Amino acid sequence: MEATKLKFGILGAGCIGSYIGAHLTYAGIDTLLVGRQKLAQEIRGNGLRITSVEGKDFYLKPEQIQYTTKIEALSDRDIVLLTVKSVNTAEAAQSLKQILPVGKTVVSCQNGVRNAEIVRSFLPGIRILKCMVPYNVVWRSKGLFHCGTSGFLIIEKQDNISKIILSELHRSGLIAKEHKNIQDILWGKLIFNLNNSINALAGIPLHQQLSQSAYRKILAATMHEALQVLKYSGIYPVGSGGLLPNLAPFILSLPDFLFFRVASKMIKVDPQACSSMLQDLQQSRQTEINYINGEIVTLARLNQLSAPINSKLITLVEKATTTGYSPKMSAREMATILGINI
């Protein structure tokens, strides 16, 4: 299979899918995006513009973009990047089962640690790869997608296909690497994604939230609890791009001047960036709480342990989901409910 002749498909082309798909398209790689009617209409009228905290800024005219709402159009794609929310993984895999021939490749570019296994259960004969996506992408308006954090993609090392995919991603201007222990990388990302629920409940930009030591102490306690559960379960999360999950609680607990100095070397965060979970609450969508904090609680129960902080965060986010908006909780209010001393 020649890399230059690969046909890519993106299933679930919202924020992450459109960001990656736009890069591939801009590089001249045959890429078909499949998503919702609302975005399809917006792209037909405005095209796609991509910006980032690292200074990227490019534009695709409407006629340059292949965007459809019909999943059947993916049947001729060699590689399908799955970027749907974790809650929609089984439904998406069932749909792909009806159209993808044996021998194709599906790459799970999703939050959580179990999506690839769910996809694999529906698609025997299809090569399934895992991918860690670090981006925080916001759909602003009129086809503009802004990536508010730095980071690089990590693809599961598998045969020669991962190298071929990496080659195309590099050609598109996306930094990507391969890793043989991708599951440990996914657990490492999940540790940092535990902040999604805290950010959603705070209802403020990530930079503003992490600039306050009280919120950082809540996150440190949440991560510490999760790391203890993982350690007991024999799971050792691996970091990427300077983000070290086992050191994170300590770094978060540093005084402001030291935290800012260390954090600035680890990751860039746009002042307006917010978590995908906060975006879900703001748009009255179902969150991925059960695929992030829920994984810690489930693992704790399997090992006859408790994870009270993560359990309470799930309850708070589920309550917020029923109201359809962030409760905008102060750090003190949140810490009191969670039983954390700040």
CATH number of the structural domain spanning residue 304 = 1.10.1040.10
Mean pLDDT (whole number) for 150-167: 95
Is residue 335 predicted with pLDDT exceeding 90?
Answer: yes
- Whether residues 166 and 260 share a domain: the answer is no
pLDDT value, residue 241: 77
pLDDT band at 267 (very low <50, low <70, confident <90, very high): confident
Please, what is the end-to-end C-alpha distance for the chain in angstroms?
56
Other C-beta atoms within 10 Å of 228: how many?
Answer: 14
Per-residue pLDDT, averaged over 307-314, amounts to 98
Q: Beta strands of the chain (E only): which ranges?
A: 8-11, 31-34, 48-52, 57-60, 66-68, 79-82, 105-108, 127-132, 137-141, 144-147, 153-156, 176-179
Give me the count of residues in the chain: 342
- Pairing of β 105-108 and β 127-132: parallel
- Helix 308-323 to helix 195-202 angle (10° resolution) is 40
Are 219 and 312 within one domain? yes
For residues 57-75, average pLDDT: 97
One domain for residues 106 and 30: yes
Half-sphere exposure of 75 (CA within 13 A, CB side): 6
Which pairing describes strands 153-156 and 31-34: parallel, antiparallel, or unpaired? Answer: unpaired
213, exposed or middle or buried, with CB in 10 Å at 0-12, 13-18, 19+? middle
205 — alpha (psi -120 to 50), left (phi > 0) or beta? beta
Q: Are residues 22 and 149 in the same domain?
A: yes
Lowest-confidence segment of 140-149, 239-248, 324-333 by average pLDDT: 239-248
Last residue of a domain, one of 180, 213, 228: 180
Specify the pLDDT at position 4.
54
Same domain membership, residue 132 and residue 68 = yes
- What is the per-residue pLDDT across 104-151, written as a single tens digit (0 to 9) for each? 999 999 999 999 999 999 999 999 999 999 999 999 889 999 999 999
**Three-class secondary structure assignment of 1-64:** CCHHHCCEEEECCCHHHHHHHHHHHHCCCCEEEECCHHHHHHHHHHCEEEEECCCCEEEECHHH
Q: Give the per-residue pLDDT at 1.
A: 47
Residues 158, 237 within the same domain: no
At which of 180, 200, 226 does a domain end? 180
> Does 54 share its domain with 133?
yes
What is the domain-level CATH number for residue 122?
Answer: 3.40.50.720
Tokens of 322: 């029923």
Residue numbers of the domain that contains 297: 186-338
Residue 172 shares a structural domain with residue 205: no
- My answer on whether 175 and 204 are in the same domain is no
Distance between CA atoms of 78 and 327, rounded to whole angstroms?
Answer: 44
Answer with the one of 180, 200, 220 that is the final residue of a domain.
180
Summary mean pLDDT of the chain: 95
337, pLDDT greater than 80:
yes
Domain count of the chain?
2
Same domain, 158 and 250: no
Q: Are residues 267 and 306 in the same domain?
A: yes
Residue 267 φ/ψ, nearest 5 degrees: -160, 145
Alpha helical stretches, state H, 47-177: 89-97, 115-122, 161-171
Q: Comparing C-alpha atoms, which of 35, 294, 264, 257 is closest to residue 139?
A: 35
Cα-flanking dihedrals φ and ψ of residue 149, to 5°?
A: -135, 155
For the CA atoms of 139, 140, 143, 146, the dihedral, rounded to the nearest 10 degrees, stands at -70
> Could you tell me the strand order of the sheet in which 144-147 lies?
57-60, 48-52, 144-147, 137-141
Q: Hey, what are 51's tokens?
A: 């910006």
Distance between CA 197 and CA 299 in Å, rounded? 18
Q: What is the pLDDT of residue 141?
A: 85
CB distance 119 to 89 below 8 Å: yes
Say how far apart CA 324 and CA 328 lie, in whole Å.
12
Q: What is the amino acid identity at position 117?
A: E
Is residue 79 scored above 80 in pLDDT? yes
Quick one: 103 and 8 in the same domain?
yes
